[in-house]
Structure 1
Amino acid sequence: MERSQNKSSLNSEEITRYARHISLPEIGIKGQEKLKKSSVACIGTGGLGSPLLIYLAAAGIGRIGIVDFDVVEDSNLQRQIIHTTNSIGLLKTDSAKQHILKINPSCRVDLFNQKLTSSNALEILKAYDVICDCSDNFPTRYLINDACMILNKPNIYGSIARFEGQVSVFNLKENSPNYRDLLPTPPPQELIPSCSEAGVMGILPGIIGTIQAAEAIKIITNIGFPLNGRLLIFNALNMSFKELTLKSRPENSNINKLIDYNSFCSEVKVKNEVDLDIKSISVKELKVLLNQASKETLLIDVRNQIEHNECSISGSKLIPLSTIESGESIHEIKILAAHKNLYVFCKSGKRSLRALKHLKKRGIKGINIEGGIEAWNQENIK
């Protein structure tokens, strides 16, 4: 028996559940049916992905794909609200799916417990109508962008740092800008602090991720004016929004294949005269040095207090990067480094390089520890 063309694909329970959506003339029954039939892929189930997934599930998105390979840690819970204390140690995808199904048992949830790469991105993303970039690193953002360009998928981009967030919609129409129009080349990696390094206000990803979810709903239901050609910037300290116009550039639209994005992003280096005199050594060389000439060596950790307390190199002195950049600790370092060889480390070598550049300008020379505490731990140096 054929279904009447006027009959909704929503059952009575769904009509009740989504009554507040259906009451909106802009959405109505037809819009809610579009949401039910739609599919959204979310790359990342951290600060941005958490609110986005929660609200998409609540809105009635029929199919959600989640791409992530990380596990839940206690430090995530300050902002990644889709996870709970009981989720610690679980795959983030599994934790997210449990929460989604509690909100909306009818939602189909596809899990991809793997890192998104050039070899799997097209295969994973091709099945979804809308792609949401909730990643936290530049290689993945460029990868998502280029995959969306090749697959002709809208890309809802979000990013956060400290107290500021950004949202835009890329590749929505034929002449829409894409991520490369916002950032044609990646910034030097040594100047990019991670979330753990720079910190982030817990509520910030909730605001930005929710805006991403709103854009997804608007695009699927074809209502309102998405952030196509516009970059929305939010500052939580000032509680202010500002908007920048983005334009498509033909030279950034010729994407026909995926590349090695880690290499692409690592090729960009900071090049200036200050860098030429900054030397570096490996953690193995540092170990030998500390064994042979520890009294002549000043080892400074430029991470924050919490990182230093969790794990550090024996004999190192904590002087956070922020106090070096502000000039607060310059005099202290000059006194400590007098008649000693100065070595500086951080988590991965990026903050220590920044610290050494500031110190160089103040007449203090030092040597960078390549790879930082991560390399030290990987080598299992005691």
Structure 2
Amino acid sequence: MSRFERQVILPGFGIEGQQKLQRSKVLLIGAGGLGCPILLYLAAAGVGKIGVVDGDTVAISNLNRQVLFGEKDLGKNKAETAVRHFQDKYTNIGWSIFPEFISVENAQELISDFDLVIDGSDNFPTRYLVNDACVLLGKPLVFGAIYQHEGQVSVFNLGENFCNYRDLFPQMPSATEVPNCSETGVLGVLPGIIGNLMALEAIKVLSGFGQPLRNRVLFFNSISSQSYEVELSPNPESRESMPASMTSFEIMDYELACEGVKQLTWTEAMGRMGMDVAFVDVREPGEMPPLECTGLMKIPLSDLPQQLHLLDESEEILFFCQSGIRSQKAARQLQNEFPDKRIYSIKGGISALKPQ
């Protein structure tokens, strides 16, 4: 008896739908709260090849929602750990592991060989980057996102007269406008629900079964358990803001376009420490874990307007917080106050700092 029997006997799906899944190649961007349930059900359904892209490592705060990981996985790369979970479980799936973040430099190479892309990322620069790459490369894209109690799901770049992510959000918002779950919190079951809906949409697109959420956005509220849909139409003006070719795509700075703030990794930040550099923790007192280093200044974001004089002598200012959201706000504030200074936010905040 085939393990896919329950799918094959489903009216309208059949052997043809299963064969299409087995011939399909799917690329998942992000193996976090959305990516974990997506992988569970794509693998169980029998998708033939699955690629996983994620440069992040497992943290203890991930475990309420990232159900492929446990305490023994802390500090391990998410893409590698997620795939390892399945390799012995399902031997008929071809896996590709990309333990890195997607960027304008590697997007074409990562995406080109796959039939469908699923965006399980949690920030606006990556969502616009993935969307634009998929449009330019002609790849359908399953999108999902969560914010506190609400989730969104849609299918972009599918069929004629298709909509894409820029038709939903024509103006590139800053991450400071919509914080991620590190700042606002999330009940772990919500990304499970949204991730499962994203897996369902991917299966429908790949198999030709059912009606994908093409040019529609499904909204789900976990407090009321209610959902509703919004129809989308192509927006010619939003298309004009897209890069017109892969050449122009590869010189885009999506983080700068979204945030208006340049960001550094911790490695880059530590390499810039010096006499004229201010290294500023804008978290509130008592936030954990603490960080102690030479030249560190602790100025909570709420006190920053009153403490600007402390930064007068610094030529370069590096802000950090818990997840990189408040540090972007701080950097945006100081760009207006000190237009001649070099001001950066440290990407990912203290949560992205690898233990030494």
Same fold (TM over 0.5): yes
Matched, 1:347 2:336: no
Matched, 1:232 2:225: no
Cross-structure match for 2:48 = 62
Matching residue's letter, 1:67: V
Cross-structure match for 1:165 = 151
**Hey, what's the Cα distance between the residues in 1 that align with 2:51 and 2:348?**
32
Equivalent pair of 2:320/2:350 in contact (CA under 8 Å)? no
Cross-structure match for 1:256 = 245
**Hey, what's the Cα distance between the residues in 2 that align with 1:377 and 1:23?**
47
Equivalent pair of 1:169/1:226 in contact (CA under 8 Å)? yes
Q: What is the correspondence of 1:304-343 to structure 2 with a 5 Å cutoff?
A: 308-311=287-290
Using the size of structure 2 for normalisation, the TM-score is 0.76
- Segments of 5+ residues of structure 1 without an aligned counterpart are 1-14, 270-281, 288-298, 325-332, 356-368
- Segments of 5+ residues of structure 2 without an aligned counterpart are 263-274, 312-318, 331-342
Matched, 1:265 2:254: no
Change (3 A) 1:349 1:55: closer
**Hey, what's the Cα distance between the residues in 2 that align with 1:55 and 1:376?**
32
For residues 248-292 of structure 1, give each alpha carbon's deviation from its aligned partner in whole angstroms, at most 9, with x where no partner exists: 1123346423122122212389xxxxxxxxxxxx996588xxxxx
Cross-structure match for 2:167 = 181
Equivalent pair of 1:231/1:244 in contact (CA under 8 Å)? yes
**Hey, what's the Cα distance between the residues in 1 that align with 2:152 and 2:220?**
6
Change (3 A) 1:87 1:150: same
Cross-structure match for 2:181 = 195
Is the partner of 1:214 in helix, strand or coil? Answer: helix
**Hey, what's the Cα distance between the residues in 2 that align with 1:192 and 1:203?**
20
**Hey, what's the Cα distance between the residues in 2 that align with 1:21 and 1:132?**
22
Cross-structure match for 1:86 = 72
Matching residue's letter, 2:256: S
- Please report how far the alpha carbon of residue 353 of structure 1 lies from its aligned counterpart in structure 2 after TM superposition: 8.4
Cross-structure match for 1:72 = 58
Matching residue's letter, 1:81: V
Q: 1:46 aligns with which of 28, 32, 43?
A: 32
Using the size of structure 1 for normalisation, the TM-score is 0.71
Q: What is the correspondence of 1:290-301 to structure 2 with a 5 Å cutoff?
A: 301=283
Change (3 A) 1:105 1:268: same
Larger helix proportion of the pair: 1
Q: 1:126 aligns with which of 112, 116, 121?
A: 112
Cross-structure match for 2:334 = none
- Please report how far the alpha carbon of residue 194 of structure 1 lies from its aligned counterpart in structure 2 after TM superposition: 2.8
- Please report how far the alpha carbon of residue 199 of structure 1 lies from its aligned counterpart in structure 2 after TM superposition: 1.2
Change (3 A) 1:87 1:214: same
What number of residue pairs does the alignment pair up?
A: 312
**Hey, what's the Cα distance between the residues in 1 that align with 2:190 and 2:148?**
8
**Hey, what's the Cα distance between the residues in 2 that align with 1:60 and 1:146?**
28
For residues 92-124 of structure 1, give each alpha carbon's deviation from its aligned partner in whole angstroms, at most 9, with x where no partner exists: 111111112243111000011111111111111
Matching residue's letter, 2:193: I
- Please report how far the alpha carbon of residue 51 of structure 1 lies from its aligned counterpart in structure 2 after TM superposition: 0.4
Cross-structure match for 1:363 = none
Extract structure 1 runs of 4+ deviating beyond 3 A: 251-255, 282-287, 299-303, 312-318, 341-355, 369-378
Change (3 A) 1:225 1:377: closer
Is the partner of 1:131 in helix, strand or coil? Answer: strand
- Please report how far the alpha carbon of residue 53 of structure 1 lies from its aligned counterpart in structure 2 after TM superposition: 0.7
**Hey, what's the Cα distance between the residues in 1 that align with 2:110 and 2:197?**
24
> Percent identity among equivalent residues?
42
Change (3 A) 1:87 1:218: same
Is the partner of 1:128 in helix, strand or coil? Answer: coil
**Hey, what's the Cα distance between the residues in 2 that align with 1:353 and 1:69?**
21
Equivalent pair of 1:302/1:351 in contact (CA under 8 Å)? no
Is the partner of 1:110 in helix, strand or coil? Answer: strand
Is the partner of 1:103 in helix, strand or coil? Answer: coil
- Please report how far the alpha carbon of residue 309 of structure 1 lies from its aligned counterpart in structure 2 after TM superposition: 3.5
**Hey, what's the Cα distance between the residues in 2 that align with 1:105 and 1:373?**
37
Matching residue's letter, 1:261: Y
- RMSD over aligned CA atoms reads 3.7
